[in-house]
Structure 1
Amino acid sequence: HNFGHHMNVATPEDGATARYNQTVYGFWFTSVTKQYLNAWRLQVQLLKRQNISFLSPKNDMLWYHLIQPAYLGAVWYVFSFETMLFAAGAGVIAFLFLES
């Protein structure tokens, strides 16, 4: 976040900055897509700079992709499939509020 958005805030490179007259739905799509791709780009650069393998435990993006389904799987296991859907929906809604 600090190396992407904060470095490029309010510039065309910043995915988290809405364009003039852009709809909130268009902004959500642009923001999510650009920030996701930028996060991967920054992670790969960091790993290369430190001479660390992509499949290293130090790859934060891989951890994020493992933790989310593990969390939802745990909610499903402990509670129910419906509760897992509710948790996923709450996460999506919270994320969209954060992005707007």
Structure 2
Amino acid sequence: MNRTTRPALGMLVFFAVAFALGVYFTFAAVQGDYGLFRRAEIDAEARDLAVQLAAVQAQVNEMENLTKRLSDDFLDLDLLDEQARSILGMLRADEIVIR
């Protein structure tokens, strides 16, 4: 009678350990540092960063355009006039200021 209970207890311990390992690895695959939820967070963050990159690139392109237009090689007189008026606060005699 002692022999029949021992193998059953060993099998029970084996399946309990196997089940616990299965649950642990399943949890790690879903919630862990390299799991599915972390992957979704990384994808969402990558999309946000791509949008920010596009906005910053647009600002850089605008600044490069303004810099080129005010350079010695290419002088945009309208832009120069606008900048001088903005910085110096000057007006022509035929202009009216509305605030």
TM-score (norm 2): 0.29
Which protein is bigger by CA-based radius of gyration?
2
Q: Which has the higher contact order (CA 8 A, sep 6+)?
A: 1
Q: Which has the higher helix share?
A: 2
TM-score (norm 1): 0.28
